[in-house]
Amino acid sequence: MHKGSCLCGAVSYTLATAPKAVTNCHCKMCQKQHGAAFATYASLPVKDVTYLTGETILASYQSSEGIVRRFCNVCGSSIEWRGSKQYPDWTSIAIATLDTPFVPENIKNIHLDSKACWLDMADSR
């Protein structure tokens, strides 16, 4: 079982199963929501996520048709998004909010067409 929480600790959760399908999403929405070059999410069934604290203080934002992003309304930490038409019973957890070790077997990069132009600059110096 994995445990996670937001920056301020007001929201905490457990995952009953190991997350799957880990992706670094480089889309503009994830860049803006996270304030970073990309967001890393892993998916699992909604039924396998249990909020221990703070579920009532999660704010929701519908970022596109059917997609709802949830974040702590105290500290702003992105926690999850859900609502995929392909996988309606699944959610995607921001894995940087995990408090227990999680080493994905594979990480896929998606939406590279909007990859931040400065992302690899440090590698070239």
In angstroms, the Cα distances linking 32 to 38, 46, 57, 59 are 9, 24, 21, 16
Residue 85: what pLDDT? 87
Rounded mean pLDDT of 10-24?
95
Mean pLDDT, all residues of the chain: 92
pLDDT digits (tens, 9 = 90+) for 34-90: 889 999 999 999 999 999 999 999 999 998 888 899 999 999 999 999 988 888 899
Q: Is the confidence at residue 12, as pLDDT, over 90?
A: yes
- pLDDT score of 42: 96
Instruction: Establish if 83 belongs to a structural domain.
Output: yes
Q: Percent of the chain scored above 70 by pLDDT?
A: 96
Say if 50 falls within a structural domain: yes
Q: Is 65 inside a domain boundary?
A: yes
In a domain? residue 123: no
Does some domain include residue 46? yes
In this predicted structure, the answer to whether residue 125 has a pLDDT above a threshold of 70 is: no
pLDDT at 3 over 60: yes
**Which CATH number does the domain housing residue 50 bear?**
2.170.150.70
Q: Residue 14 sits in which domain range?
A: 2-118
Q: Distance between CA atoms of 61 and 81, rounded to whole angstroms?
A: 9
- Count of domains for the chain: 1
Region 109-114: mean pLDDT is 91
